[in-house]
Each structure stands twice: as structure tokens, then as C-alpha cells.
């Protein structure tokens, strides 16, 4: 084979190989681009799905937080209303007409006294309001019930209202705020039902 023929064959072979390499390169490029596009599409979908999930999660979290805050505000408002009812009672009791107020404190005193010789501590304003007739009626009631009529009154202006009864072994707090506090423990459920029954029915509809 002549030299020029061998050279020509080598060139032809190189050209063929080049064409083959170029074709393979083009095919590989196409394959790589397609794979890249598929990967990108998959990544975008995953990113969008994740973004949607995160957005949904944030919305759910925000809704739950909002509902919790709403419940807290409602509970706080209800507690404030209950407090207001019993605080008004503390103010309202001393504001009763004289006969009603004296009758109320006489009943409280007779229930708290056990022997009839206890010390009754009250402030000067309360003492002046109750007057001698109050104590005379208390003494008569104590005698009628078989107890002694020997209560001793002591002026103590640190007692805001009502009175404090001191015996030999015990002390009974009969201040208005304490009486209302004790009533609150007994009545709070019923008062709450009266206050909030209609609103609960509306919320359930």
C-alpha cells in the first residue's frame, strides 16, 4: 500500500472516529441535559411541595396560636367579670340600708360566736354605725340560744369592715371581704353559669 493511501486511510479513519466521537458527545450532551432538566424539574417540584407543606404548617400553627390566644382572652375576660361581680358585692354589702346591714352582721356574728364571752374587734366607724341597739339584740339572741351575753367589743381600726372575733382557742374572721371570699368558693360555679350560659349557647351554634 502506497504511503499516500495509508495516510488517506488514517485520515478517513480519524474523520470517521471524529464523527463517531462527536455523535457520542452530542448524544451524551443530550442525555446529560435531559437528566439535568429532569433533576431540575424534580427539585422544583420537591421545593414547591416542601414550600407548600411549610406554608400549610405555618398556617396551621398560626391558626392554633390564634385560637389559643382567643381562648386565653375569653378566659381572662370571664375571670375579670367574675372578679367584678364579687368585688361589687364587697362594696354593696356595707351600702345596704341600715336595718338590712345590721341584720346581716347580727346573723354572721351569732353564727360565729360559740360561748358568748369572745372579743369582737371592729373599727370605730363600724361601731358607731351598729350602735347600742345592735349589741342589745345580739345579747338577747345569745341568751335565748343558751349562750352567755358577755361579748367584749374592742375598737381596732386595722379591721377594714365587719369584725374579727377572738375566743380563747380560736379566731373567726368576719370581715366583709372574707365573708364574700367564702361565698365565692360556694357560689362561683353558679354565678359563672348565670353569666356565661347564654354566651356558651351562642358559641356552640
Q: pLDDT-derived band of residue 184, with 50, 70 and 90 as boundaries?
A: confident
Number of domains in the chain: 1
* Listed residue (97, 103, 162, 95) closest to 127, CA to CA: 162
Residue 163 forms part of a structural domain: yes
Residue 147 φ/ψ region, left for φ over 0, alpha for ψ in the -120 to 50 degree band, beta for the rest: beta
**Helix, coil or strand: residue 106:** helix
Residue 122 forms part of a structural domain: yes
Question: Does 160 or 82 have the greater pLDDT score?
Answer: 160
Residue 153 forms part of a structural domain: yes
Maximum mean pLDDT: which of 15-24, 125-134, 172-181, 190-199 = 125-134
Residue pair 138/150 in contact (Cβ under 8 Å)? The answer is no
Quickly tell me which residue has 424534580 as its cell: 42
Quickly tell me which residue has 335565748 as its cell: 144
Q: pLDDT-derived band of residue 195, with 50, 70 and 90 as boundaries?
A: confident
Question: Does 194 or 202 have the greater pLDDT score?
Answer: 194
- 147: its cell numbers: 349562750
Domain ranges, residue 170: 96-174
Residue 55 forms part of a structural domain: no
Considering the entire predicted model, what is its pTM?
0.58
Residue 89 forms part of a structural domain: no
Residue 46 forms part of a structural domain: no
Q: Kindly report the backbone phi and psi dihedral angles of residue 172, in degrees, each rounded to the nearest multiple of 5, phi listed first.
A: -115, 120
Running DSSP on this structure, what letter comes out for residue 171?
E
- pLDDT of residue 165 exceeding 50, the answer is yes
Amino acid at each position: 500500500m502506497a504511503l499516500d493511501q495509508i495516510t488517506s486511510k488514517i485520515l478517513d479513519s480519524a474523520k470517521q472516529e471524529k464523527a463517531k466521537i462527536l455523535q457520542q458527545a452530542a448524544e451524551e450532551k443530550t442525555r446529560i441535559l435531559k437528566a439535568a432538566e429532569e433533576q431540575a424539574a424534580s427539585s422544583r417540584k420537591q421545593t414547591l411541595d416542601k414550600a407548600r407543606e411549610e406554608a400549610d404548617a405555618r398556617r396551621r400553627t398560626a391558626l392554633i396560636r390564634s385560637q389559643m390566644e382567643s381562648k386565653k382572652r375569653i378566659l381572662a375576660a370571664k375571670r375579670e367579670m367574675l372578679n367584678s361581680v364579687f368585688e361589687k358585692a364587697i362594696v354593696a354589702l356595707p351600702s345596704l340600708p341600715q336595718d338590712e346591714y345590721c341584720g346581716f352582721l347580727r346573723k354572721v356574728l351569732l353564727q360565729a360566736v360559740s360561748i358568748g364571752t369572745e372579743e369582737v374587734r371592729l373599727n370605730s366607724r363600724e361601731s358607731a354605725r351598729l350602735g347600742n341597739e345592735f349589741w342589745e339584740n345580739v345579747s338577747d339572741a345569745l341568751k335565748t340560744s343558751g349562750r352567755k351575753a358577755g361579748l367584749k367589743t374592742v375598737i381596732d381600726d386595722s379591721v377594714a369592715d365587719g369584725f374579727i372575733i377572738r375566743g380563747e382557742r380560736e379566731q373567726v374572721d368576719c370581715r366583709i371581704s372574707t365573708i364574700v371570699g367564702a361565698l365565692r368558693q360556694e357560689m362561683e360555679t353558679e354565678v359563672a353559669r348565670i353569666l356565661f350560659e347564654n354566651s356558651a349557647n351562642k358559641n356552640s351554634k
